[in-house]
């Protein structure tokens, strides 16, 4: 199915236009939700709806996560909080850009300094959150699904907000608002894993822009690959992963465990860590042309990435949804 899709429905005599932004039918039944944008008499509102009866308790958990995350994330982030209405959550719509879209805008204008500074601001805010040095056994057991994990202590977010990535952050001036709190957990999760997810999703979504902004003063590093596609990231972003003692391959295994937790299987779109992790300071015109098609390929890759799929609909529009 192509997103977004729009249709007109009649509810209690009102003309309601509804745009489906994401249908998460590939998830386990207990996590299956639909996100839609409704326009009722000219006023926009966003709904997250349970597709199955089994997913209704999940919606309640999402609302609870939002409330818990308010105190945890302040003062560096605000939180999108919705209202539970039987089998759906209602959110107010406001036309703000995501952090991913703002970074993309800078890259397209050739202003890589501002793009990298914005990503650095994100990293600083992430590291400013309450953390704990521990062995995150609940994360390994429940999410990463690994039995050979290290027993070493890891720097962890006290609350495991695995989707606290730029595509789920809206920017209104100095106000950064976190949305989509589905994958928030009461146990600690490795901070570097959240960074890994941010870099990986950014590499996929912004590949064309990253390549065009690559230069001797802003080199790019090949980190990820899928089939014949290679995904580069600015070395300024890659350095944040290098600072960790956790290998990229180990974090990709965690990501596979996370995907299995959400969908019940490991998608064949998840890709791999690049075998030849070389640095580039330019790309040929042919490579840039290939990069321009990455957004189309993204539709197949990102279906399995929690928190990123809905951005496909919003990315070209430059507008997203917020709380009051």
Q: Which helix (H) or strand (E) holds 88?
A: strand 88-98
Query: Tens of pLDDT along 256-280?
Result: 999 999 999 877 778 999 988 889 9
Asked if residue 51 lies in contact with residue 33, where contact means CB atoms within 8 angstroms, the answer is yes
Cα 255 to Cα 143: distance, rounded to the nearest angstrom: 9
Question: What's the pLDDT band for 15 if we cut at 50, 70, 90?
Answer: low
Spatial separation of the C-alpha atoms in residues 209 and 283, rounded to whole Å: 12
218 DSSP assignment: B
CA 57 to chain centre: 23
The pLDDT tens digits for 130-139 are 999 999 999 9
Domain boundaries, the chain: 5-95, 97-321
CA dist., res. 261 & res. 169, Å (int): 23
Share of the chain above pLDDT 70, in %: 83
Average pLDDT, the chain: 85
pLDDT at 156 exceeding the cut of 70: yes
CB burial of residue 30 (10 Å; 0-12, 13-18, 19+): middle
Q: Which residue has the tokens 């890659």?
A: 238
Instruction: Give the tens place of pLDDT for each residue, 279-308.
Output: 999 999 888 865 544 444 444 444 445 555
CATH number (3.40.50, 2.30.29, 3.30.200, 3.90.550) of 5-95 reads: 3.30.200
- pLDDT on residue 34: 94
């Amino acid at each position: 199915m192509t997103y977004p899709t729009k249709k007109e429905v009649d509810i209690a005599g009102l003309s309601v236009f509804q745009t489906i932004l994401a249908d998460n039918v590939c998830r386990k039944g207990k996590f299956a939700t639909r996100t839609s944008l409704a326009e009722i008499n000219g006023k926009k509102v966003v709904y997250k709806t349970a597709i199955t009866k089994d997913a209704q308790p999940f919606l309640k958990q999402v609302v609870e996560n939002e409330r818990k995350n308010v105190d945890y994330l302040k003062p560096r982030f605000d939180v999108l909080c919705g209202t539970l209405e039987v089998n759906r959550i209602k959110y107010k719509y406001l036309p703000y850009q995501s952090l991913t879209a703002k970074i993309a805008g800078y890259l397209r204008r050739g202003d890589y300094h501002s793009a990298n500074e914005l990503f650095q601001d994100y990293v600083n805010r992430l590291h400013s959150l309450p953390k704990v040095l521990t062995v995150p056994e609940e994360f390994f057991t429940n999410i990463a699904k690994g039995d050979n994990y290290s027993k070493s202590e890891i720097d962890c977010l006290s609350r495991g907000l695995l989707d606290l990535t730029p595509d789920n952050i809206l920017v209104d001036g100095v106000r950064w608002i976190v949305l989509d709190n589905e994958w928030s957990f009461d146990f600690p999760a490795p901070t570097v894993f959240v960074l890994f997810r941010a870099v990986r999703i950014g590499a996929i979504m912004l590949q064309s822009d990253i390549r065009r902004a690559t230069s001797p003063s802003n080199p790019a590093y090949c980190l990820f690959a899928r089939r014949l596609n290679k995904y580069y990231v600015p070395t300024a972003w890659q350095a944040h992963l290098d600072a960790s003692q956790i290998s990229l391959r180990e974090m990709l295994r965690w990501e596979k465990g996370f995907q299995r937790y959400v969908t019940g299987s490991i998608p064949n779109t998840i890709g791999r860590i690049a075998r030849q992790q070389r640095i580039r300071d330019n790309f040929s015109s042919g490579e840039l042309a290939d990069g321009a098609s990455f957004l189309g390929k993204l539709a197949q890759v990102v279906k399995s990435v929690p928190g990123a799929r809905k951005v496909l609909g919003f990315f070209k529009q430059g507008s997203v949804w917020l709380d009051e």
